[in-house]
Amino acid sequence: MGGGRPDRLRHHHRRRRGHQHRPRQAPGSTVAVIGCGGVGLSVIQGARISGARTILAVDPLAAKHELALKVGATHAVTPDDLPGALQELTGGAGFDYGFEVVGKSATIQSAWQLTRQGGDVIVVGAGAMDDMVQISAFSLLFEGKNLLSSLYGEADVRHDFPYFAELYKAGQLDLDSMISARIKLTDLNEAVAALRSGEALRQIVLID
């Protein structure tokens, strides 16, 4: 699922074998996910499994919206349509959770702006060391938002992977839709090019 549990969403709000992940996403929450690649789709599925009421998928490539809706998003827009979606879905107040799954300062700031006062902004995308995020000291104090990071969703392989397998077998976790192609070793160059262009989500190498 794109290198473990990338989003602190497979983060779903749960207690299991004494293991708990943050943020504690309550059922009925509103969630915005910026970036609909393989990791972003995993975040969307985690939000759905957690019982989110509204899940907004944001990606500049409209071609990715259909799959985002299929795996659990309730709405999907391009960045240009964000102001209207924010007003329509939250009355302008913002989302309870804003996930950034791109790894760019601009999209981190967008996630901040999309999240309501007191909400959680979760950075999932791996950014560059010299790509600085600017948030005013005023906003940090008076908007009361929580700026969090999620590295591989803080997954515990021993506990979480069996749980994901249970979700998959129960039909709650859609992994099949995230496989763009099954390829051979001789197709690796083309597969890498497809990833860079954004045409592919996950490609499985078959060994004869």
Instruction: Quick: pLDDT tens for 148-207.
Output: 888 877 777 888 888 888 888 888 888 888 777 787 887 788 878 877 776 667 778 888
Bond prior to 23 in cis (omega within 30° of 0): yes
Whole-angstrom distance, CA of residue 96 vs CA of residue 75: 15
Give pLDDT tens digits for 72-116.
999 999 999 999 999 999 999 999 999 999 999 999 999 999 999
How far is 113 from 115, CA to CA, in rounded Å? Answer: 6
Measured CA angle at 46 (ends 98, 144), to 5 deg: 25
